[in-house]
Chain A
Amino acid sequence: MSTVNLVYFSWVRERIGKGEEMLDLPADVVTVADLIAHLKTRGEEYEAAFEHQNVIRAAINQEHVDHAEPIAGAREIALFPPMTGG
Chain B
Amino acid sequence: MNAPVIVRVQREDFDLDAEVSALRRERSDIGAVVTFSGLCRDEAGALSALELEHYPGMAEAEIERICHEAVERFGLQAATAIHRFGKITPGENIVLVIAASPHRQAAFDGANFIMDFLKTSAPFWKKEHHVDGSIGEWVSAKDADDAARDRWTRKP
Q: Which A positions have Cβ atoms within 8 angstroms of B?
A: 7, 9-11, 59, 62-64, 78, 80-86
Contact = CB atoms under 8 A, between A and B. Distances in A.
Contacts of B52: 85
Contacts of B126: 84-85
B129 interface: no
Given A9-B53, A10-B138, A85 B124 contact: yes
B111 to A, nearest CB: 12
B43 to A, nearest CB: 14
Contacts of B140: 82, 84
A79 B118 CA distance: 18
Given A10-B138, A62-B61, A85 B122 contact: yes
A7 B57 CA distance: 12
A10 B125 contact: yes
B139 interface: yes
B57 A62 contact: yes
Contacts of A86: 38, 83, 94-95, 115, 118-119, 122, 124, 145
Contacts of A83: 119-125, 141
B141 A82 contact: yes
A7 B122 CA distance: 16
16 contacts: A11-B138, A59-B55, A59-B58, A63-B58, A63-B61, A78-B58, A81-B125, A81-B141, A82-B141, A83-B119, A83-B120, A83-B122, A84-B119, A85-B52, A85-B119, A86-B122
B8 interface: no
Of B57, B58, B94, which is in contact with the most chain A CB atoms at under 10 Å from its CB? B58
A35 B11 CA distance: 33
A62 B57 CA distance: 7
Interface in B88-129: 94-95, 115, 118-127
Given A84-B140, A84-B141, A9 B121 contact: no
Given A9-B53, A10-B53, A10-B138, A84 B125 contact: yes
B39 to A, nearest CB: 11
Contacts of B54: 85
B118 A80 contact: no
Contacts of A59: 55, 58, 123
A80 B123 CA distance: 9
